[in-house]
Amino acid sequence: AREDVIHMLKTEKTKPEVLEAHYGSAAPESVLRVLHRDAILAQEKSIGEDVYEKPMSELDRLEEKQKETYRRMLEQLLLAEKCHRRTVYELENEKHKHTDYMNKSDDFTNLLEQERER
């Protein structure tokens, strides 16, 4: 008897009439209509504000975060470019120093050869 009562209660909950009485419809509805219906049943704010307000604020927050990240990445890029320029300048400077040293060395070698020939 207990099993019969449990079975009867389960089938009673799934009857279309019960679903229609509780939810207003027994057939599947669109998601927004279901959310609107549930909001009315729960006596919350209207669904238009709840559905769109939070995603828009999250989108604004995400946009601000992206702008901040872009700014920081740009700063890092500029810093890397400055470091690269400095390194290239130092290498060019060393190249000129080396060229000058080799020229002076050649001049000194030529002077020594001239002295030897005398």
Tell me the average pLDDT of the chain.
82
Angle in degrees, 0-180, between the axes of helices 31-41 and 47-117, rounded to the nearest 10: 120
Whether 55 and 43 map to the same domain: the answer is: no
Q: Which domain range does residue 61 map to?
A: 51-117
Whether 96 and 109 map to the same domain: the answer is: yes
Report which residue type is found at 101.
Answer: Y
Instruction: Note the pLDDT tens digit of each residue in 13-70.
Output: 666 666 666 666 656 567 677 777 777 777 655 445 555 677 888 899 999 999 999 9
Whether 31 and 59 map to the same domain: the answer is: no
Q: Which of 15, 31, 48 is the last residue in one of the domains?
A: 48
Whether 41 and 66 map to the same domain: the answer is: no
Q: Into how many domains does the chain fold? A: 2
pTM of the model: 0.44
Whether 57 and 105 map to the same domain: the answer is: yes
Q: Which of 27, 48, 69 is the last residue in one of the domains?
A: 48
| Phi-psi domain of 8 (left: phi exceeds 0; alpha: psi -120 through 50; beta: other) | alpha
Q: Which of 48, 64, 83 is the last residue in one of the domains?
A: 48
Cβ-in-10-Å burial (0-12, 13-18, 19+) of 101 comes to exposed
